[in-house]
């Protein structure tokens, strides 16, 4: 955090971009997101926390992306393409759906984005030439996506041998793939341009953006394909060792994520350039970066890929100080937040504190735990994207826990119902930053939960807000809470 971090009091809102209202069924870089920013600015929020923007991978998870560099095409605003003169009218689609339907939305938006690309090639050849020049750093990822499309989205180890080997020998002619490569560059050009407008609007309103960097990359990704020596892969390219989490508070059975595990010995030989570059990419997108699964820099959980659960696994030492000493030669550490949740050994907290990185304190984990030790330098949350909603959490408390909670809150004499009191309790903490979730403000039950860790289903990552009307209705009430807690 910046040097004035401990002397500021700000409130933020955790809300995934995809979950925002939009006439095309998914939040994107268009006008409706700017409307959202203006609304939360009016409420008094000065921070907006989002989930990773990379191409969504397995199970719709933003933590299994196809690339650390690319942005998912679903965030490209079709209305922006109309403004650019590359499309005419586009009808609304999935606007009133209660949940995100990624497959339908992707098919719908893709047909119009491809039409816009075709129009650009016919009417604006100078633009296409400009894009090729400006987006040259995206070329490798564009090749990966072109290969993937050519193989009907099969994982890269299933491609033709010459495509798999291209990253090493580049013998394969790319002529048959050039149209798709250029299309991918076109998409990323306008995504980059669109996000720049959103970020500029946020800064104009005095709102800073907190992004999220997953610790691991997806296996079926350009990251793994182009950097195979940095992972433990078998002869055909699939992971021998995969990542996960041992049983903890979030999951009694543990979590088998399936991401390939890093080979830190190989990464160290190159001074961790691959990992540092991922951080720098995020640094261009966001003002602050939450380091997801921070504990893995100290120790990380490894599962042999042959096992179907996370019960069989072992802890291994991470790169720790060696990595961060290298990182902070070129990266500003005041922009980082360490996600330090779960069952941690003391060395993890020491690693965090030795670099003066703020961690995270959660109301759901601490308010009923008399042994819980809060760190006032941390960022305070009610819950994360992996937690129940505030209302869902409260409704699932046991009777004695509810009784204890009411007794705790009674001493403060906060106004409103139990949820208002919990919001105020969080906001009044001494922590400089307090992040609330949209579901907390709207008092939504677990139907609005973002993710249940460790499982793949049709529920995770699909929550969406159909309209800003419910948020507009509580604008004054939220602003009063922020004023009472001196967050504005």
Judge contact between 337 and 210, C-beta under 8 A: yes
Catalytic (active site) residue 386: yes
Catalytic (active site) residue 343: no
Judge contact between 436 and 47, C-beta under 8 A: no
Q: Report the first-to-last Cα separation within the chain, whole angstroms.
A: 19
CA distance 35 to 5: 28
User: 39: alpha, beta or left, given left = phi > 0 and alpha = psi -120 to 50?
Assistant: alpha
The catalytically annotated residue of 141, 292, 298, 440 is: 292
Residue 396 CB coordination number (10 Å): 12
What is the distance of C-alpha 273 from the center of its chain?
Answer: 22
The catalytically annotated residue of 28, 298, 386, 440 is: 386
How big is the chain by its Cα radius of gyration, in Å? Answer: 23
Q: Estimate the share of the chain in helix, then strand, then coil, as percent rounded to the nearest 5.
A: 45, 10, 40
Q: Which residues contact 448 (CB under 8 A, 6 or more apart)?
A: 389, 392, 439, 442, 463
Q: Which residues contact 429 (CB under 8 A, 6 or more apart)?
A: 361, 374, 376, 380
The catalytically annotated residue of 339, 340, 361, 440 is: 339
Question: DSSP letters along 88-123, please?
Answer: ------STT-SB--HHHHHHHHHHHHHHHHHHHHHH
Which of the residues are catalytic?
292, 339, 386
């Amino acid at each position: 955090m910046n040097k004035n971090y401990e002397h500021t009091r700000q409130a933020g809102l955790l809300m995934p971009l995809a979950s925002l209202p939009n006439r095309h069924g998914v939040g994107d870089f268009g006008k409706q997101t700017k409307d959202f920013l203006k609304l939360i600015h009016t409420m008094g929020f000065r921070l907006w926390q989002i989930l990773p923007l990379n191409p969504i991978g397995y199970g719709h998870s933003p933590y299994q992306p196809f690339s650390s560099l690319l942005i998912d095409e679903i965030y490209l605003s079709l209305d922006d393409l109309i403004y650019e003169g590359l499309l005419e009218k586009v009808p609304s689609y999935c606007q009133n759906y209660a949940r995100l339907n990624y497959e339908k939305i992707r098919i719908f938006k893709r047909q119009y984005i491809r039409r816009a690309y075709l129009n650009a090639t016919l009417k604006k050849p100078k633009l296409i030439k400009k894009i090729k020049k400006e987006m040259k750093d995206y070329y490798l990822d564009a090749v990966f996506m072109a290969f993937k499309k050519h193989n009907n989205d099969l994982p890269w180890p299933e491609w033709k041998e010459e495509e798999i080997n291209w990253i090493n020998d580049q013998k394969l002619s790319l002529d048959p793939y050039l149209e798709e490569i250029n299309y991918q560059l076109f998409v990323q050009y306008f995504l980059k341009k669109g996000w720049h407008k959103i970020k500029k609007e946020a800064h104009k309103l005095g709102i800073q953006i907190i992004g999220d960097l997953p610790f691991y990359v997806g296996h079926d990704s350009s990251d793994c394909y182009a950097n195979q020596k940095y992972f433990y892969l078998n002869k055909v390219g699939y992971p021998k060792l995969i990542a996960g989490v041992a049983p903890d508070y979030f999951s009694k059975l543990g979590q088998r994520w399936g991401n390939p595990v890093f080979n830190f010995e190989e990464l160290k030989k190159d001074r961790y350039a691959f990992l540092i570059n991922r951080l720098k990419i995020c640094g261009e997108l966001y003002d602050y970066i939450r380091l997801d699964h921070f504990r893995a820099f100290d120790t990380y959980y490894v599962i042999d890929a042959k096992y179907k659960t996370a019960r069989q696994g072992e802890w291994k030492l991470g790169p720790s100080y060696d990595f961060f000493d290298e990182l902070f030669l070129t990266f500003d550490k005041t922009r980082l937040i360490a996600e330090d949740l779960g069952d941690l050994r003391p060395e993890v907290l020491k690693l965090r504190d030795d670099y003066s990185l703020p961690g995270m304190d959660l109301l759901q984990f601490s308010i009923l735990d008399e042994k819980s030790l809060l760190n006032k330098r941390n960022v305070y949350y009610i819950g994360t994207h992996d937690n129940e909603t505030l209302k869902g959490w409260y409704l699932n408390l046991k009777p004695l826990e509810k009784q204890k909670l009411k007794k705790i809150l009674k001493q403060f004499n906060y106004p409103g119902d139990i949820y208002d009191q919990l919001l105020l309790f969080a906001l009044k903490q001494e922590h400089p930053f307090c992040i609330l979730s949209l579901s907390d403000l709207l008092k939504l039950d677990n139907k609005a939960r973002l993710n249940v860790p460790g499982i793949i289903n049709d529920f995770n990552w699909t929550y969406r807000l159909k309209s800003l009307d419910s948020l507009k209705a509580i604008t004054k009430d939220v602003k009063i809470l922020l004023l009472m807690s001196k967050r504005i």
